[in-house]
Amino acid sequence: MRFSINPEMATQEVQPNETLTNLKAESDTLKTKLEDERAKLHDVELHQVAEKVDGLGQFIMKTRRTLKGHGNKVLCMDWCKDKRRIVSSSQDGKVIVWDAFTTNKEHAVTMPCTWVMACAYAPSGCAVACGGLDNKCSVYPLSLDKNENLAAKKKSVAMHTNYLSACSFTNSDMQILTSSGDGTCALWDVESGQLLQSFHGHAADVLCLDLAPSETGNTFVSGGCDKKANVWDMRSGQCIQSFETHESDINSVRYYPSGDAFASGSDDATCRLYDLRADREVAIYSKESIIFGASSVDFSLSGRLLFGGYNDYTINVWDVLKGTRVSILFGHENRVSTLRLSPDGTAFCSGSWDHTLRIWA
Amino acid sequence: TSLAESPFLSVRDRPEQAVMLEMQDPKTGVKSQPQKLVITTIPHAITGEDVVTWLANRYTIEAEEAWALGTMLVAFGYIYPLQDHKRLVIKPDTSLYRFQTPYFWPAQQWPVEDTDYAIYLAKRNIRKKGVLEMHEQEQYNSLHKWMNHKWDFIVMQAKEQYRAGKERKKPDRTVFDCQERAYWIVHRPPPGTVSAMDYGLERMVDPNAEEVTGQSRVCVCVCVCVLVKFSITCNKHDPFLAPCLPSNPWVTDDVTYWLLNMANVDIPTKMRVERWTFSFGELLSDPRGRDDFRLFLKKEFSGENLAFWEACEDLKWGTAATMNEKAQQVYKTFLARGAPRWINIDGKTMEVTVKGLKHPHRYVLDAAQTHIFMLMKKDSYGRYLKSPVFKDTQKKAIGPDQHRFRSVKRRPSISPIIVRQQEKEERARMATSGPVDITQVMSKLSNKGKEVPPPKK
């Protein structure tokens, strides 16, 4: 709290011989002191406020579908707005569109590169975007004609100078947001391939991004190998907030459903929650027994649960408010590389280096 | 990080701070000396007349203007009176004042929180019971009521500050108390006191102006309470925490839940309607909710607001190639004088928008869009929730019972590609046959079996 700052500093007046420089120095000292005080008095922790909240009951979360078909590590997946279709991409260059409900494969594309680390479903459900070691993000319009080669109508949209790590459509099929190993994020016009805005500020590879829920404005968050999570204004390209509390690469970032906060998963084996208005970390999700990195995180619909896919093949489910782990899910036989909640929150999907995807509910 | 980027002494944003620095210059500033006040001696006291004279000389202005400027400095809390402390004016006589410490200057960095004020009042109460003035007592009671859940925290902070205060030397303590009291008179003025903190109506930030890099931090306590509250409110709607009705399709293989919650279903479920009451954003982001709202606005003859908002969204997220054309279309339809669907925005916003349209970019309508959004959120939304349209929808909403039976077959669903094709065809049909009630059309598409009515004139 402000008022317990050193009273000498607070009562000091302009002494004789002090000049503008001295006053500036004084204000700098005050600033540092203030930061120290703020750090000391963390006000209150999230789990303290949540003490009065009812605990969660027992969970029955099981694998409801297993999607087999990829020939190699699954690296990324995304849901269609219809709540049942998904797109997934893998190390061997294959991108598959599934109806996860029936487990039928509906479309397949072979990319000209390996390690397709990013894929996204268009809001209309009529196209997918993907990319990876080709340093590009391409959009493939989907067709019902089984004989049609989807690669023929492919549109090259984004061009980076290093691998594509993540991509996401904005509120329409016409714009794509990308992040790359070249340290930047960028916003592109799909039709023309024009670069609309670029976002510079990360000091190393950017590994992930997430768009803020539309009611909360035009921002997105990105995480990188520089251990930073940055919040960006899409209009100006400016980094408006930056958080650096992780001790290693940030593999995944995801907004809390209200847009007031976001979670991150990192190679430091922790997940963290950052509140945007408080401008600080407000929770850490960690356990001594969890020593492998978290690769991918997502919230349940109410934000109460945080699902984390980890490099030790497990999925840990956290009580976001109380900070405790409520469940651990086994099933994958290799790293969990990607994880996302379905659009209506009825299930989440995990993809793994064991070549499969699983739907959990 | 943001504190480091926006220093206290931000002369560009707060030019009065430059004045304050000059006034305190030991050689050329206002003369000060220690003053005996009651039993203590207050260092660096200045007189009102010295302040006014200094300002008059420095800026080559008349005494009256210097007096006005001096009063502003007191009203903002940069200078505070030692006597008659509740009147925030400069008296051009031997009345005593002091420069407020920079720590207590009006800060842009954070809003003045009620929590801080509660702590301050509680602290004074601890110090001496009955010392609070009537308006302070009223505030205290009111704060105690709505901050009841964190009152322990507040009392703890107050005690801590009181204890820390007692450790100071008496003269320092007196000075600090004076400064603190002055700060609160500025930020929570007693009745009859004019401080400069009142700023009238909410102002729109000019989207073409420079971005403010200094973030106003909000107390962590408030923020985490917001997160907790959201989670609790949505608890029943989280399929992982409460049962989906009638069942979760992934568990029972029965897709009734999805059918009941399709985008443009005629009769929504009770749960869905409840979500519309959580926030305006929730209502808008659900197509069925938005349709209901649209119907309500139509009856109020303010449908153009929503239409404008949607047009702005279309511009922001649309193809770059058609952007110019879209912007011009929006202008003609909603903003130009005599436009067919003219929207009511304030003069300043209109000016900014029209100016921006000369060189349109995808965010050119942001200011106007925000204005209309807030208008709908603060005004129409509340009325909608009380309206016959909403109440009717609420009454008709379905509340399916839970079932646990498993479906025999996992039915495939219509491809989004086909759905889009159908929507296109329907829109084309609408365009040729004249205006039709949109909810009727959409419900037809969702196969709820309503006939498309004959076109209206």
pLDDT at B200 (0 to 100) = 40
Q: Which residues on A lie below 8 Å from B418 (Cβ)?
A: 144
Same domain? B100 vs B121:
no
What b/e readout covers A265-292, taking b as 16+ CB neighbours within 10 angstroms? bbbbbbbbbbbbbbbbbbbebbeeebee
Instruction: Answer yes or no: are the C-beta atoms of B327 and B360 closer than 8 Å.
Output: yes
> What CATH number does the domain containing B138 carry?
1.10.1240.60
Please state whether B60 falls in left (phi above 0), alpha (psi between -120 and 50) or beta: left
Average pLDDT of the residues of chain A: 90
User: Residues for chain A: how many in total?
Assistant: 361
Write out chain B residues lying below 8 Å of A61, CB-based. Answer: 240
CATH number of the domain that B9 lies in? 1.10.10.10
- Are B388 and B361 part of one and the same domain? yes
CA distance B237 to chain A (A): 7
| CB-facing half-sphere around the CA of B59: CA atoms within 13 A | 20
Show which of B126, B153, B187 is a domain's final residue.
B187
Domain tally, chain B: 3
Provide the pLDDT for residue B442.
55
Residues B120 and B100 in one domain: no
Q: What is the pLDDT of residue B98?
A: 92
Q: Which residues of B touch A213 (CB under 8 A)?
A: 281, 285
Q: Does A11 contact chain B (CB < 8 Å)?
A: yes
In a domain, B311, yes or no: yes
Q: Tell which A residues from 330 to 359 touch B, by Cβ distance under 8 Å.
A: 344-347, 359
Q: What pLDDT shows up at residue A18?
A: 55
B250 shares a domain with B161: no
User: Which parts of chain B have pLDDT scores under 50?
Assistant: 1-13, 108-110, 199-214, 447-457
Measured in angstroms, the CA of B166 and the nearest CA of chain A are apart by: 11
Do residues A90 and A68 lie in contact, with contact meaning Cβ atoms separated by under 8 Å?
Answer: no
Which residues touch B170 (CB under 8 Å, ≥6 apart)?
B40
Do residue B24 and residue B160 come from a single domain? no
Identify the domain containing residue B381 by its residue range: 237-403
B172 and B75 inside one domain: no
Cα A153-A156-A159 angle, rounded to 5 deg: 170
Q: C-alpha distances in angstroms, B340 versus A88, A181, B332, B335, B348?
A: 47, 50, 8, 9, 21
Residue A34, pLDDT > 80, answer: no
Beta-strand (E) ranges in B326-425? none
Show the tokens assigned to A270: 């922790």
CA dist B211 and A220 (Å) reads 16
Say if residues A262 and A219 touch (Cβ distance below 8 Å): no
Q: How far apart are CA A262 and CA A259, in angstroms?
A: 7
Residue of A3, A13, A172 lying closest to B161 (CB–CB): A3
Distance of residue B85 Cα from the nearest chain A Cα, in angstroms: 18
Q: How far is A177 from chain B (nearest CA, A)?
A: 12
Q: Which amino acid is at A182?
A: D
The verdict on a CB contact (< 8 Å) between A191 and B24 is no
Considering only CB atoms, B220 lies closest to which of A42, A50, A65, namely A42
Angstrom distance (rounded) from CA A18 to CA A22: 6
Per-residue DSSP letters for B368-381?
HHHHHHHHIIIIIH
Instruction: Tell me which of B79, B104, B129 is where a domain ends.
Output: B104
Which of B3, B44, B320 minimises the CB distance to A34? Answer: B3
In a domain, B262, yes or no: yes
3-state class (DSSP) for residue A17: coil
Can you read off the two tokens belonging to residue A208? Answer: 């992930």
B270 in any annotated domain = yes
Is A37's pLDDT higher than 90? no
- Comparing A197-201, A276-280, A335-339, B220-224, the range with the smallest average pLDDT is B220-224
Q: What ipTM, to 2 d.p.?
A: 0.86
Hey, is the C-beta of A195 within 8 angstroms of any chain B C-beta?
Answer: no
Tell me: do B146 and B169 sit in the same domain: yes
Query: Is B265 part of a structural domain of the chain?
Result: yes
CATH of A44-358, one of 2.130.10.10, 3.40.50.2300, 2.60.40.10, 3.40.50.300: 2.130.10.10
A168 has a chain B CB within 8 A of its CB: no
Domain range annotation of chain A: 44-358
Shortest CA gap B160–chain A (Å): 8
| Closest residue of chain A to B116, computed from CA coordinates | A1
- Mean per-residue pLDDT, A181-187: 96
- Whole-prediction pTM: 0.69
| Amino acid in the structure at residue A346 | T
Could you tell me if B257 and B349 lie in one domain? yes
- Whole-number Å distance between alpha carbons of B316 and B363: 6
Check if the beta carbon of residue A95 is closer than 8 Å to that of residue A106: no
Residues B142 and B64 in one domain: no
Query: Which of chain B's residues have a Cβ under 8 Å away from the Cβ of A262?
Result: none
B410 occurs within a structural domain: no
Instruction: Say yes or no to pLDDT of A96 above 60.
Output: yes
Chain centroid offset of residue A222 CA? 7
| Chain B residues whose beta carbon lies within 8 Å of the beta carbon of residue A65 | 250
Greatest CA separation for chain A: 87
Selected for mutation to probe chain A from B227, B282, B424 (highest A CB count within 10 Å) is B227
State the Cα–Cα distance between residues B434 and B449, nearest whole angstrom.
21
pLDDT digits (tens, 9 = 90+) for A122-167: 999 999 999 999 999 999 999 998 788 888 899 999 999 999 999 9
What letter does residue A151 receive in the DSSP assignment? Answer: G
Query: Which one has a higher pLDDT value, B59 or A323?
Result: A323
Q: Are residues A3 and B44, on separate chains, in Cβ contact within 8 Å?
A: no
pLDDT at B211 (0 to 100): 38
Find the farthest-apart pair of alpha carbons in chain B and give their distance in angstroms, rounded.
Answer: 93
Nearest CA in chain A to B259: A82
Nearest CA in chain B to A347: B250
